[in-house]
Amino acid sequence: MLFGKKDHLVGLDIGSSSIKVAEITEVKKGSTLAKFGMINIAPGLIEDGSVKDPETVADIIRQLFKAYNIKERNVAIAVGGYSVIVKKIVVQTMSEEQLQDTIQFEAEQYIPFDITDVNIDFQILGENESNPNQMNVLLVAAKTDVVNDFVNLAQMAGMNPCIIDVDAFALQNIFEANYELENENLALIDIGASKTSLNILKDGNSVFMRDVSLGCGQINQKIISLVDCSFEEAEEIKLGGQTNKLSMEDLSDIISGVVTDWCTEIRRALDFFYSTYPEDQIKRIILSGGGGNIKEFRQLLAVETSATVQIINPFENFYVDDERFDISYINKIAPQASICMGLATRKADDK
Ligand SMILES: Nc1ncnc2c1ncn2[C@@H]1O[C@H](COP(=O)(O)OP(=O)(O)OP(=O)(O)O)[C@@H](O)[C@H]1O
Ligand SMILES: [Mg+2]
């Protein structure tokens, strides 16, 4: 390759409502956003975390790369949702090779799926605080068919998926790339159209991750169940479009109901954290994904958790040339670009 490093890649976030792609380059000015593209996809193409219509989605990915003139074919993609489980476990101290041989067995008790249906990865975190003969290990298990679905999809689109990441990790990476980690506890939460990723950091380290099947699409479904309309119409109504089908009051009730559900689920995760670390307090919640745009959600979450709720800007520390990008558009979609930007910060030879 003449230009660029061999380990260079593009972040490709295949969401259920839109696909995002970002490329970052290191130049004299520092880390720079070289390419960014986003395209909405029809509902149903990706559903319940699996790819329903790979040919169509692969075509859309190809078009996206073409439209934004992206030549790089090495990509980092991510899986998320209920098909992924990330957990800190404690095992007897052993070498990485030994753990490689026994991880299936160790993992079995923590995974609610059949162990033969999952891809397992792990990272040794270090000695356990309370028992020096044991070590803490970060266990990552993802359903094999879901991972294969997304790998096949990327390949079908002509891409070379060199990194298969997890949404919650990508979120942590983009947060760290943009913000100083103070000695604090915070929750990173990405609320998309159909899934929510949650990652709680304690003193800068992830101590709890959970993905749940909640998202903004729930609002569309509630609108559809109340008025006779298509998903696209429901989307317009949701985003405040003029309609005589649904009163402002009814829309507001629907949104209230859905965001209350989200807050309950988030509270549950935070309570889990508090049961392990009763002395600690989560002071900040950083939101991303389309759900972060919902003001009422942010307000309710702040009240329910007594935390400061902020929206992430994944471009904060990156140079974004205003001659190449429409800055107001970039600002508008910024929360939705977080996972994609997190993927774009990876290198092809990362583990
Ligand atoms: N201001 C807003 N109010 C309500 N909903 C919004 C707003 N802005 C974006 N959304 C919703 O956010 C969703 C898109 O968010 P995002 O791009 O994070 O999802 P996705 O990555 O495609 O989905 P997923 O990660 O769940 O597969 C859509 O349902 C969209 O309607
Ligand atoms: Mg998403």
Shortest-distance ligand to the CA of residue 292 = 1
Same domain as 219, residue 280: yes
Shortest-distance ligand to the CA of residue 49 = 1
Same domain as 223, residue 103: no
- Domain assignment present for 61: no
Same domain as 130, residue 199: no
Same domain as 195, residue 271: yes
* Distance in Å, CA 240 to ligand 2 centroid: 21
Domain of 93 in residue numbering reads as 87-142
Q: What was the pLDDT predicted at 155?
A: 98
Q: Is 194 in the pocket of ligand 1 (CB under 6 A)?
A: yes
* Domain at 293, CATH number: 3.30.420.40
| Predicted confidence (pLDDT) per residue in 56-115, tens digit | 999 999 999 999 999 999 999 999 888 889 998 999 999 999 999 999 999 998 888 888
Span 249-256, average pLDDT: 96
Same domain as 190, residue 127: no
- Domain assignment present for 191: yes
- Domain assignment present for 59: no
**Most ligand 1 atoms within 8 A of CB, residue of 146, 149, 329, 336 to mutate:** 336
Same domain as 301, residue 185: yes
Cα dist. 205→138, 173, 187 in Å? Answer: 11, 11, 11
| Predicted confidence (pLDDT) per residue in 304-314, tens digit | 999 999 999 99
The percentage of the chain sitting over the pLDDT mark of 90, rounded to a whole number, equals 82
* Domain at 100, CATH number: 3.30.1490.300
Q: How many domains, the chain?
A: 2
**Most ligand 1 atoms within 8 A of CB, residue of 83, 216, 219, 333 to mutate:** 216
| Predicted confidence (pLDDT) per residue in 206-219, tens digit | 889 988 889 999 99
d(Cα 342, Cα 176) in Å, to the nearest integer?
9
Span 1-20, average pLDDT: 82
- Domain assignment present for 189: yes
- Domain assignment present for 341: no
Same domain as 285, residue 211: yes
Same domain as 138, residue 207: no
Span 225-242, average pLDDT: 92
